[in-house]
């Protein structure tokens, strides 16, 4: 049962344009969401997170939007740069009062390619 | 550089053997998490330790065990290895015991079972 889904295996974008990566989840107990970027032969690098009490969080070129009613989050990168080319994972964490304390559930990842 | 150190980077061994993967968390982090990334399963949570105590458990096999030592480094022990255990094993760390804080990942140990 895939509780966190990234339905687009890949995305190709021109440099300078906006990249929008999407993620859907099914477990309504998730209350904290994160995006990670991963280059080959490296571990995932934390990008940005959002708590379920917010619907938007910004950090420089990265903005994460959360739509709780739709159980959907998205990562916007603007402007996109060739160095952003990587695999992007969304991850979700359950309410801290549950037994899954600290456990992250990951999506399968989306390969972003930014063309010069 | 995340500050999380994993050794070794690569490990090649045979079925039935036992291996130990090591992780040093970021300075100041008390929690250590272990994840397995295989081709068909993606990143799967295995286990979490906080300040030396087991905190949360995922779908970790009984053949696998972990511990966190007083200096906060952690080891993941995999025994009676099977071909299906071939995967990337990541360690992550965070400041607190979990909940609403990012985890920072090491570069992983690639385990190949021949």
pLDDT digits (tens, 9 = 90+) for A73-92: 999 999 999 999 999 999 99
Question: Whole-angstrom Cα distance, residue A114 to residue A112?
Answer: 7
pLDDT (tens digit per residue) in A22-71: 999 999 989 999 999 999 989 999 999 999 999 999 999 999 999 999 99
A37 touches chain B (CB under 8 A): no
Per-residue confidence at A101, pLDDT binned at 50, 70, 90?
A: low
Say what the pLDDT of residue B52 is: 94
Rounded to a whole number of angstroms, the CA Rg of chain B reads: 13
B98 touches chain A (CB under 8 A): yes
Q: Which positions in chain A touch B92 (Cβ < 8 Å)?
A: 43
Say what the pLDDT of residue B42 is: 82
Those residues of chain B that have pLDDT short of 50 are none
Phi, psi of B93 (to 5 degrees): -140, 160
At B85 the three-state DSSP class reads helix
pLDDT(A94) > 60 = yes
Nearest-by-CA chain A residue for B34:
A103
Say what the pLDDT of residue B1 is: 84
């Amino acid at each position: 049962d895939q509780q966190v889904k990234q339905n687009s295996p890949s995305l190709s974008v021109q440099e300078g344009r906006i990249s929008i990566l999407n993620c859907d989840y099914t477990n309504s107990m998730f209350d904290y969401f994160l995006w990670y970027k991963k280059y080959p032969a490296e571990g995932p690098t934390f990008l940005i997170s959002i708590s379920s009490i917010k619907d938007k969080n910004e950090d420089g070129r990265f903005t994460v939007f959360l739509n709780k009613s739709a159980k959907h989050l998205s990562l916007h990168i603007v402007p996109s740069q060739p160095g952003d080319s990587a695999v992007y994972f969304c991850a979700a964490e359950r309410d801290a009062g549950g037994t899954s304390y600290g456990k992250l559930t990951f999506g399968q990842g989306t390969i972003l390619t930014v063309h010069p | 550089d995340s500050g999380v150190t994993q050794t070794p980077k690569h490990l090649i061994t045979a079925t039935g053997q036992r291996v130990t993967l090591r992780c040093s968390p970021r300075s100041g982090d008390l929690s250590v998490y272990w994840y397995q990334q295989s081709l068909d399963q993606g990143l799967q949570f295995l286990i979490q330790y906080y300040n030396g105590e087991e905190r949360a458990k995922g779908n970790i096999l009984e053949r696998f065990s972990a511990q966190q030592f007083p200096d906060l480094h952690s080891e993941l022990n995999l025994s009676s290895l099977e071909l299906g255990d071939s995967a990337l094993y990541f360690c992550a760390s965070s400041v607190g015991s979990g909940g609403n804080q990012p985890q920072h990942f090491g570069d992983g140990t690639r385990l190949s079972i021949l």
